[in-house]
């Protein structure tokens, strides 16, 4: 277990984490969440595409959160070393990030003040966030206010990088959002891949395993698996065989 994982595990134990009585975490019901996800599908797609591009250049421990305009978590991503900790934490889609729901946090402060907010660990009310340095900003994607973006790290030395990343993502999302809308308007299916994703897709088509791809590209196996997941999502498939078949039909291979 890494030092990062050990530190996180102290704050995100496997058992249910106690939270302040004034800030019991609330979630949308599944029908409510399904409706919100459907309404925000362009925003979610733009977020996923933007994060997949940016994550290729990150080496630290990051957590990315996207909420709708009411503070409801509709998408998330994280560095691969956080997989177990995130799965064991209360953070999941449908979680409501208002101060009333889960205590003062970067997103709730941004919602209240209508401007970007940086919140250090000691200013978070909920123990869940009290190891995190969080930068949250309102999102105006398309022609209206769409939601909120939070980029967080546990490493205080990465604060400046954290803020720089958070400032870049909205611009990426704006471009991706417009592309998705344009594709729907013309009735065309647009699938955009990064150069790294295309390389991995080609390696998959050549029969290389995750381990072989990781060795060849000099990246972690979990990073390869992340790229595979993104590729599968973009192609709407569930397996490598289906991905190769669909990519071939779309002339990516």
Say yes or no to pLDDT of 175 above 80.
no
Which residues neighbour 12 within 8 Å (Cβ) at sequence distance 6 or greater? 85, 88, 89, 128
At residue 18, does pLDDT exceed 50? Answer: no
Instruction: Please say if the pLDDT value at position 53 is more than 80.
Output: no
pLDDT for position 182: 63
- Label the pairing between strands 73-78 and 133-141: unpaired
Mean pLDDT of 18-30: 70
Q: How far is CA 216 from CA 2, 199, 213, in A?
A: 24, 11, 5
pLDDT tops 50 at residue 2? no
pLDDT interval class at 110 (50, 70, 90)? very high
Taking residues 54-61, report their average pLDDT.
Answer: 74
Cβ atoms of 132 and 156 within 8 Å: the answer is no
Tokens for 200? Answer: 């991995």
Residue 4 pLDDT: 42
pLDDT at 124 over 60: yes
Average pLDDT of every residue of the chain: 81
Give this prediction's pTM.
0.69
Q: Is a pLDDT exceeding 80 seen at residue 218?
A: yes
C-alpha angle 109/118/7, rounded to 5°? Answer: 105
Residue positions counted in the chain: 253
Instruction: Please state, for a pLDDT cut of 90, what percent of the chain lies above it.
Output: 34
pLDDT in tens, 125-167: 888 888 899 999 999 876 678 899 999 988 877 778 888 888 8
Q: Rounded mean pLDDT of 30-51?
A: 86
């Amino acid at each position: 277990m890494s030092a990062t994982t050990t530190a996180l595990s102290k704050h995100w134990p496997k058992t249910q984490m106690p939270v302040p009585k004034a800030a019991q975490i609330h979630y949308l019901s599944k029908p409510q969440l399904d409706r919100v996800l459907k309404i925000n599908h362009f925003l979610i797609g733009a977020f996923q595409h933007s994060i997949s591009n940016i994550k290729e250049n990150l080496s630290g421990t990051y957590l990315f959160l996207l909420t709708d305009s009411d503070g409801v978590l509709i998408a998330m991503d994280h560095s691969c070393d956080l997989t177990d900790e995130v799965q064991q934490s209360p953070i999941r889609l449908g979680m409501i990030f208002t101060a009333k729901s889960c205590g003062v946090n970067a997103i709730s402060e941004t919602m209240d003040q209508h401007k970007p907010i940086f919140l250090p660990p000691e200013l978070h009310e909920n123990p869940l966030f009290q190891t995190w340095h969080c930068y949250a900003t309102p999102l105006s994607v398309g022609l209206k206010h769409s939601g909120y973006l939070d980029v967080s790290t546990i490493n205080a030395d990465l604060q400046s990088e954290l803020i720089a990343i958070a400032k870049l993502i909205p611009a990426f999302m704006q471009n991706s959002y417009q592309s998705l809308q344009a594709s729907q308007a013309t009735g065309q299916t647009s699938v955009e891949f990064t150069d790294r994703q295309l390389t991995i897709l080609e390696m998959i088509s050549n029969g290389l395993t995750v381990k072989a791809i990781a060795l060849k590209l000099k990246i972690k196996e979990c990073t390869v698996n992340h790229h595979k997941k993104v590729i599968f999502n973009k192609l709407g498939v569930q397996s490598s065989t289906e991905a190769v078949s669909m990519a071939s039909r779309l002339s990516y291979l």
